[in-house]
C-alpha cells in the first residue's frame, strides 16, 4: 500500500466512526455519556476533516467544477422545498 491508500483507508474509517458516534449520540439517554461521546465525536470529526484536507492538498481527492447555471438550477430546486416545511420561515417560532 502507498501513502494514498493508507490515508484513504484512514479517511474511510474516520467517516464510519463519525456515523457510528452520531447514532450513539441519538440513542444516549445519560447526559454524562452523551457529553463524553460528543467530545470523542468532535475529535473524530476533526481528524476526518484533517485527513480529507491532506488528500485534497495532494490531489488525491478531487471535485469536478460546476457551471453557475447548474448551481442556480439546484438552488431553485431546493429553495422550492422550503414551502413544504411545517413552519413559517418568515415568522420563526422562538
Please tell me the predicted confidence (pLDDT) of residue 47: 96
Tell me what pLDDT residue 65 has: 84
Among residues 29, 52, 28, 60, which one has the least CA distance to residue 41? 28
Predicted confidence band at 4 (pLDDT cuts at 50, 70, 90)? very high
- Span 14-55, pLDDT tens digits: 999 999 999 999 999 999 999 999 999 999 999 999 999 999
Which pLDDT score is estimated for 53?
95
**For residue range 72-93, what is the model confidence (pLDDT) as tens digits?**
998 988 888 877 777 765 655 5
**Sign for the pseudo-dihedral over CA of 12, 26, 45, 65:** positive
> Does residue 21 come out as left (phi exceeding 0), alpha (psi in the -120 to 50 range) or beta?
alpha
What's the grid cell of residue 53?
484536507
Amino acid at each position: 500500500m502507498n501513502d494514498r491508500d493508507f490515508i484513504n483507508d484512514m479517511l474511510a474509517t474516520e467517516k464510519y466512526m463519525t456515523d457510528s458516534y452520531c447514532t450513539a449520540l441519538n440513542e444516549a439517554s445519560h447526559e454524562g455519556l452523551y457529553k463524553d461521546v460528543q467530545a470523542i465525536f468532535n475529535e473524530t470529526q476533526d481528524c476526518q476533516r484533517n485527513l480529507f484536507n491532506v488528500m485534497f492538498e495532494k490531489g488525491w481527492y478531487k471535485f469536478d467544477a460546476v457551471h453557475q447555471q447548474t448551481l442556480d438550477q439546484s438552488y431553485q430546486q431546493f429553495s422550492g422545498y422550503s414551502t413544504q416545511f411545517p413552519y413559517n420561515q418568515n415568522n420563526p417560532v422562538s
